[in-house]
Amino acid sequence: MSLSSELGIVGIIVLEFALVLGISPLLSGVIRKIKSRSQGRVGFPIFQSYRDLGKLFHKGSVYAESASAVTEWAPLISFGALIAAIPLVPWLVLPSPFGFAGDLILFVGLLALSRFMTALAALDAGSTFGGMGSTRDMWIGALLEPAFLLTIFAWGAPSGSTGASTIALHSISLGLANFSPPMLLATTAFVFVLFAETGRLPFDNPATHLELTMIHEAMVLDYSGRELLLIEWGKAVKFTLLTGLLLTVLLPWGLSLSLGILVLLAIAVVVAKLLGASVIIGALETRFAKLRLFRVVDFAAVATVLALGSISLTYLVGV
Amino acid sequence: MNLPPGPLLLLGAAASAYLIGVLAGLLGKADSQGTAQVSLAFALLGTVLGGTSALFELLGGSVFNWTYVPSGFTSPDSVMVIGIAMDPLSAFFVLLISMVGFAITLSSFGYLDKYVHERPATLAGFYALFLFTLLTVVLAGTVFLFLIAWEAMTIVSYFLVVHEHASPKVRRSGLFYLVISHAAGAAVLTSLLLLAVYSGSPTFAGIAQAASHLNPWVKSLVFVAATLGFGTKAGLVPLHVWLPEAHPAAPSNVSALMSGVMIKVGIYGILRVVFQVMGGGPLWWGVLLLVMGATSALVGVLNAIAQHDIKRLLAFHSVENIGIIFMALGASLIFLSLGFPLLAALALLAGMLHTVNHALFKSLLFLGAGAVSGAAGTRDMEHMGGLARAMPQTALFFIVGAMAISGLPPLNGFVSEWLLFQAFFASFSTGSLATEVLLTAAGGVLALSTGLAGYCFVKASGAIFLARPRSSEAERVSSDAPATLRSGMAVLSILCILLGVVPLLAIELIGRSVSEITNTASPTVSLGGVLGSLELPSLSGNLDLGVIALVLAAAILVLWVVRRTRTAEKDRVSPAWDCGLDRPTSRMEYTPSGYAQPILRIFASYYAPTTLTETSPRGGSRPGPLMKVSRFQSEISYPWVEGFFDPLKQHVMDLARRTSRLQSGRIHAYLAYFVLTLLVLLAALWFFGGGGP
Amino acid sequence: MVAPGLLALELTAAVVLVSAWLSLVHRRLEAIINLYLVQSAAVGLIAILVAYLYSAPDLYLTGLLVLGLNAIIFPWILHRIQREIRVPNEIRMFVSVRLSALAGLGCLLLAVAVVGPLTPLAEIPAAGLLPISVAVVLMGLFMVSTRRKAFTQVVGMLVMENGVFLAGVALTYGLGIFLELGVAANLLILAIVSRIFLYRMNDTFDTVDADVLRSLEG
């Protein structure tokens, strides 16, 4: 391998980090805008999220008296886990230059690490609402874990691999046949997972500030300053990661197959796809009302079972 | 005459060290702290020697067999032959016992302080003997020695469990443990004697050679008996009931050794008898183990969530993890019977790696539990809280263990679960719908139990270490655990991280026994990457946690540096905001039971909780016209105990009561029994026409 | 490379499957009627697709009939009945949502295991079509047997009918126009009868809960 191609690979990875971390606040801004509009409000400007994060960056933190070192470190690890998950999904180039580091099961694991840390951090201040949000976030995550993993099994079954790049390449080679019945079932299951993992309606209302109904907001009540910045930004990054994964499997077209100038084109395509997906997800979210908390269990069960159904249909269609 | 090979010499030295430790502990003054330390020091030496011997064996590959035929038994085919043998499988378990034993023994020095007036030397002596019997079980080359060592291990561990025998609760738990272990011992005895008798060989090596000619019915009988016997020792549902009773009763270093190592000896039994000696069997064996494993995983984690007692919680997590290991063994048997040896090797590797990993993080967590319960004076997590500030290092080690058991990267628990997920995923290449659905569903169960384990350990870590103390004892804790206790935990934490980041270290050592059992030449993983990555055959997936750990560390470092840069405002400390409530107190915190409540509610049909709410108009700490004092109590039920073991116990007791009529107390009656028995035996001998000696 | 037409067929069949599955687990009656609408539209689309792909002109008519009857008129009638006799929106089931979801999987697995090997017998080489249709029939059957309300049971029957129709298409390019007309006529009668039945039941018992019929037992 020549030096230039190695530099290229490093460049691509840096570009991918910058892309995902950079676009995440924009995507959450877009979704908020869509939701505001559908409710007849003007809403925040779509770039408001960047200003919010910038404001938090300049603020000092207020620590609770009862807080330990966990308050300081857990947000760092939580955000770090999300960063480590970024290169596991091919964003610009296929196969992903960093794909050797791990597959989608690792992706699930890193997301779980991130959640573990935020849930632990929420307990540190010893506030009532922190505990409430922490337990809710953890059980919803735990119950959706089978659906998430089985979706990956279902996606991976046709290509016989759990690696994101291999799955995406297989999707491309299938062409239109990628839109098969098993894919429809697995994607339906994954949309459930995506909505729950990113705390959207009908699972959690990211816009609410009523303590008893919320999950994510309750966890961060006692956080401030740069720790809050990391948690809020991390939430946006998680949304980008999951949406990006869905797009990679469902619509992998437009990624560059080499390290050339086509990468620039790929950036435009990826940004367009992510924005489009955010608009669709935002519009979809307005169709739901908040679910009673314990109904979430039914959602998790349906998602798991749909993923299993997808797997049994894969058997029929033949691998 | 040839000199015995190096590993055997080392083993001999290790055995001597243990026995000196035993003698010192049991013969010296029971209350002497110094004697206890000498005894532990020799045990520590024993672990080092034994571990080195196993490493030699695993790296050098010198299989040895040493058999002793007692005089009077001229035929070496007689069952009563004593012999030790070390093949890769034994060596792997010797290494496991020694490695984990080393860390726990190190911690035991610090733990002895708690037993100043409770015969520390006796504890240390039995502790050394326990390690010695564990080692003998996995090194036994003959059925006879195995059975002796197995029973000795049970009895010694019973003495350790009832060390604090002043408490009636401890005595009851100990008795419960002894009775169940005895029943399990009978099952083990049945399975091994069946093997020895039908194959006509007293040694495992001999039985393995004859195994292919055995009657399939006998083999299945052996399998069922072995599953019952070894499954009980391992803690497989529904045979797990002794575990949550015995582990909390024992001193914490002993619980660590029992949960980390002894229940793994049950796994060793299954591996030895079902895999190595019999070489697998029909499909239903694997399905049975898989289903029992999946049940254990779920039952274990669900019960763990509902516990307040930290050691009971950990004991139930042992049930969960044993379930995961059995799922791997079941999958391996299924692949073997369907004719996919490579996939069988993959699943077996996952199971054995998880055995190591669980040994590491579970003993780490038990040591941590011992440290905090010693400091706070209670095992009830409801009365802990806020210990992270007084015990920062213990908190760090415990959280590392919690992350490892929750299967989070880049720690060791994730690696074995990843391998197991890959084995389940590979069921797609078997081309059978039933296998596919079964193993994929098993993947779902594994994902669920891993997720719930994460939930449970956020609860446990938070309840113990975070927020404000919820009792005056917890408030008074001012110093971290003793240095030796912490160093033991440090060793285990480092191993947890090391085997996560560089799993090849362990996989290389396991690989030889895996390829021997499954007859696959190629190892299931290949070298590569920065620190050795895992790549599976046929492209199914890849994992390089070394790189991920580097990225993670770099990201955290950068974030930390940026975090340290100056801000316009200064950081400050203030009371928790809590939505503007007036100075939250520890009574407003989420308690462990509050944290667990949603899961109790979701799985109410399993827990069948009974709740009791009382509201009294007066009394309590702050009665007033507007305040009533309420009391809420919630108990969960244990269907496996109430539905299965309690009726069983009732039947046994009835039987005992009826037979007790035989106990007339008159000597003539007893003599008559003797004669009667003799006559019945003779008649049986005549009837079956037994060959006799 | 599989022909795009067949792909479209399979994907539309999968829409039928998913909508049947979701109506099994949904708790709101309105949503279930809408899911039935989507499902019927997909079934009609399949008929038209098959007519186009295999040049079977009589299926065009059948497809249009399905679109008109099952996707427009039936849902409209159902919505009206629901409004007029004020059937509560919340579904009452004998089994929980989780078990229903699992039962859906059971139906699918059964169909895949039993009918999957028969797929080569189908005239249309879209592998998923036949098992999916059988699974939809089974899911409809499950709905009929586990819902308390006669109203929801009627929807279950309609779902079954969609499944039967789909199987017919997969096996023989459709059952032939006359047979299909017969089926449709039957269903219309069924719908009318059930409507009268529901009204009568509402008048007599003030409810459409089929469970109260038990009180008629001697």
Q: Which of B432, B435, B436, B437 to mutate to test the interface with C (most CBs of C within 10 A)?
A: B437
Number of domains making up chain C: 1
| Cα gap B685→B688, rounded to integer Å | 5
| Cα gap A270→A245, rounded to integer Å | 12
pLDDT at C188 over 70: no
**What is the token pair recorded at B589?**
């915190």
Average model confidence (pLDDT) across chain B: 85
- Closest of B511, C133, B386, B248 to residue A71, by C-alpha: B386
Q: Least CB-CB distance to A102: which of B447, B548, B601?
A: B548
| Cα gap B101→A182, rounded to integer Å | 49
Query: Could you give phi then psi for residue B84, rounded to 5 degrees?
Result: -115, 150
Instruction: Name the pLDDT band for B568 (thresholds 50, 70, 90).
Output: confident
Which 8-state DSSP code applies to residue B75?
-
| Cα gap B306→B594, rounded to integer Å | 10
In a domain, residue C217? The reply is: no
**CB distance B145 to B65 below 8 Å:** no
Per the structure, the complete domain to which residue A300 belongs is given by 3-317
Residues belonging to chain A with any Cβ–Cβ distance to chain C shorter than 8 Å:
175-177, 179-181, 184-185, 188, 297-298, 301-302, 305-306, 308-309, 312-313, 315-318
**What is the token pair recorded at B272?**
């030895």
Buried-state track B315-338, b at ≥16 Cβ within 10 A, e below 16: bbbbbbbbbbbbbbbbbbbbbbbb
CA distances from B29 to B37, B108, B164 (A): 12, 18, 18
| Pairing verdict, β B64-68 and B610-616 | unpaired
- Ramachandran region of residue B407, left (φ > 0), alpha (ψ -120 to 50) or beta? left
| Cα gap B464→B467, rounded to integer Å | 9
- Kindly tell me the number of DSSP H helices and DSSP E strands found in chain A: 11, 1
Residue type, B531: L
Highest mean pLDDT among B155-164, B523-532, B620-629: B155-164
pLDDT at B271 over 90: yes
Quote the pLDDT of residue C1.
Answer: 42
Query: Could you give phi then psi for residue B630, rounded to 5 degrees?
Result: -115, 150
Helix (H, G, I), strand (E, B) or coil at B632: strand
Quote the pLDDT of residue B131.
Answer: 95
Per the structure, the complete domain to which residue C39 belongs is given by 4-212
Q: Is C217 exposed, middle or buried, given 0-12, 13-18 or 19+ CB atoms closer than 10 A?
A: exposed
Which residue of chain C is at minimal alpha-carbon distance from A184? C14
In a domain, residue C165? The reply is: yes
Quote the pLDDT of residue A295.
Answer: 82
B211-261: per-residue pLDDT in tens?
888 888 999 999 999 999 999 999 998 888 888 888 888 888 999 999 989
Which 8-state DSSP code applies to residue B309?
B
Q: Which of B302, B384, B480, B577 to mutate to test the interface with A (most CBs of A within 10 A)?
A: B577
In a domain, residue C152? The reply is: yes
**Residues from chain A contacting residue B445 (CB–CB below 8 Å):** 146
Contact yes or no for B559 and A319 at CB 8 A = no
Quote the pLDDT of residue A319.
Answer: 39
pLDDT at C8 over 60: yes
C64-81: per-residue pLDDT in tens?
888 888 888 888 888 887
**What is the token pair recorded at A268?**
């435009």
What residues in chain A have per-residue pLDDT under 70?
1-4, 206-213, 317-319
Q: Mind telling me how many Å the CA of C114 is from chain B's nearest CA?
A: 11
Greater pLDDT, C123 or A107: A107
Quote the pLDDT of residue B638.
Answer: 81
Chain A within 8 Å of B421 (Cβ-Cβ)? Answer: yes
| Cα gap B458→A121, rounded to integer Å | 9
pLDDT at B272 over 50: yes
**Residues from chain B contacting residue A135 (CB–CB below 8 Å):** 455, 459, 590, 594-598
pLDDT at B166 over 70: yes
Q: Which of B427, B542, B564 to mutate to test the interface with A (most CBs of A within 10 A)?
A: B542
In a domain, residue C79? The reply is: yes
Instruction: Name the pLDDT band for C181 (thresholds 50, 70, 90).
Output: low
Contact yes or no for A76 and B462 at CB 8 A = no
Element (H, E) at B603: none
Quote the pLDDT of residue C206.
Answer: 62
Greater pLDDT, B675 or C204: B675
Residues whose CB falls within 8 Å of the CB of residue C218, separated by 6 or more in sequence, listed in order: none
**CB distance B460 to B362 below 8 Å:** no
The number of C-beta contacts closer than 8 angstroms across A and B is 296
Residues whose CB falls within 8 Å of the CB of residue B250, separated by 6 or more in sequence, listed in order: B160, B161, B163, B258
CA distances from B200 to B76, B194, B216, B220, B449 (A): 10, 10, 16, 18, 43
**Residues from chain B contacting residue C109 (CB–CB below 8 Å):** 433, 437
For the CA atoms of B113, B118, B123, B125, the dihedral, rounded to the nearest 10 degrees, stands at 100
Number of domains making up chain A: 1
pLDDT at C197 over 70: no
Integer-rounded Cα Rg, in Å, for chain A is 20
Q: Mind telling me how many Å the CA of B530 is from chain A's nearest CA?
A: 10
Which 8-state DSSP code applies to residue B116?
T
Residues belonging to chain C with any Cβ–Cβ distance to chain A shorter than 8 Å:
1-2, 4, 7, 10-11, 13-15, 17-18, 21-22, 25, 96-98, 101-102, 104-105, 108-109, 112, 116, 119, 127-128, 131-132
Q: Please give the full DSSP string across B204-262, using - where no structure is assigned.
A: HHHHHHHGGGS-HHHHHHHHHHHHHHHHHHHT-TTS-TTHHHHHHHS-HHHHHHIIIII
**What is the token pair recorded at B50?**
């034994």
Instruction: Name the pLDDT band for B452 (thresholds 50, 70, 90).
Output: very high
Residues belonging to chain B with any Cβ–Cβ distance to chain C shorter than 8 Å:
433, 437
Chain C neighbours, 3+ Cβ pairs < 8 A: A, B
Taking the mean position of all CA atoms in its chain, how far away is CA A299? 18
Quote the pLDDT of residue B487.
Answer: 93
Instruction: Name the pLDDT band for B515 (thresholds 50, 70, 90).
Output: confident
| Pairing verdict, β B572-574 and A62-64 | parallel
In a domain, residue C47? The reply is: yes
Quote the pLDDT of residue A2.
Answer: 56
Chain A within 8 Å of B666 (Cβ-Cβ)? Answer: no
| Cα gap B332→B340, rounded to integer Å | 9
**Residues from chain C contacting residue B433 (CB–CB below 8 Å):** 109, 112-113, 116
Quote the pLDDT of residue B288.
Answer: 95
Q: Mind telling me how many Å the CA of C112 is from chain B's nearest CA?
A: 9
Quote the pLDDT of residue B450.
Answer: 95
Chain A within 8 Å of B606 (Cβ-Cβ)? Answer: no
Q: What percent of chain C has pLDDT over 70?
A: 73
Residue bearing tokens 């070192």: A69
- Closest of A16, A96, A102 to residue B550, by C-alpha: A102
Q: Mind telling me how many Å the CA of C144 is from chain A's nearest CA?
A: 20
Q: Is B113 exposed, middle or buried, given 0-12, 13-18 or 19+ CB atoms closer than 10 A?
A: middle
Greater pLDDT, B510 or C126: B510
**Residues from chain C contacting residue A308 (CB–CB below 8 Å):** 105
Helix (H, G, I), strand (E, B) or coil at C120: helix
Instruction: Name the pLDDT band for B527 (thresholds 50, 70, 90).
Output: very low
Chain A within 8 Å of B533 (Cβ-Cβ)? Answer: yes
Query: Could you give phi then psi for residue B469, rounded to 5 degrees?
Result: -65, 140
In a domain, residue C57? The reply is: yes
Helix, strand, coil share (%) of chain B residues, nearest 5 = 75, 5, 20
B59-102: per-residue pLDDT in tens?
776 666 666 666 555 555 567 788 888 888 999 999 999 999 99
Partnered with residue B535 across adjacent β-strands are B542
Instruction: Name the pLDDT band for B147 (thresholds 50, 70, 90).
Output: very high
Greater pLDDT, B633 or B272: B272
Taking the mean position of all CA atoms in its chain, how far away is CA C203? 28
Which pairs count as long-range contacts for B560-568, CB under 8 Å and 24+ apart, including other chains? B560/A76, B562/A226, B563/A76, B563/A226, B567/A57, B567/A58, B567/A59, B567/A60, B567/A225, B567/A226, B568/A58, B568/A59, B568/A60
B328-377: per-residue pLDDT in tens?
999 999 999 998 888 888 899 999 999 999 999 999 999 999 999 988 88
| Cα gap B324→B351, rounded to integer Å | 8
Residues whose CB falls within 8 Å of the CB of residue B1, separated by 6 or more in sequence, listed in order: none
B278-306: per-residue pLDDT in tens?
988 899 999 999 999 999 999 999 999 99
Quote the pLDDT of residue A104.
Answer: 92
Chain A within 8 Å of B526 (Cβ-Cβ)? Answer: no
Maximum distance among all Cα pairs of chain C, rounded to whole angstroms: 64
